[in-house]
Amino acid sequence: MKTTLKEILKHNPSEQLKQHLSLLKTTTYIDFMTIYEIIGIKDAIWCLRVLDYKDYCLFLADVAESVLPIFEAEYPDIKEPRKAIDGIRAWHCGDIDTKELRILADVALDAAFDDNYGYGYTAGAAAYAAAAAYVGAVGTVGAAICAGADWEKIEELFIKHFGDR
């Protein structure tokens, strides 16, 4: 997958990110692995917002799934966050529509914040990451970090998605 610097700049990056992007020194298409290698994982993830929405959400689903075992270990009977992640993949393939996916995400979000379960911070963050992945939320990565993911794991997932040049 490729993009252009011009396309990235349309999404109003911060001044600091603009400085990092200037390191790319290109006026042609650039792949996301090159972006990652030159400016780092955090800025490369920010640049993913130029992707087709479904492709962006598919990456975020993998990020959310990486911390879902934390939630499932504490609450094995609660399946809503897993269903939301599976729903993103089904939506990406065209097996369910946006309305069906929104319902799955809403139920997962309710599960993430349900006081009846009294989730700990880590488990709640994992469930939130699952729900947030549908809305293409940068918060998905933040929630995954709060739930226990580390940047090395997120880098692995990035490379898995965008490593083919």
Note the pLDDT of residue 156: 94
pLDDT, tens digit (0-9, with 9 covering 90-100), for 42-58? 899 989 989 988 888 88
This prediction's pTM: 0.83
Task: Find the mean pLDDT for residues 99-128.
Answer: 72
Q: Give the model's confidence band at 119: pLDDT under 50 very low, under 70 low, under 90 confident, else very high.
A: low
pLDDT, tens digit (0-9, with 9 covering 90-100), for 60-98? 889 888 888 888 888 888 888 888 889 889 998 999 998
Dist CA 85 CA 136 (whole Å): 12
Dist CA 31 CA 33 (whole Å): 6
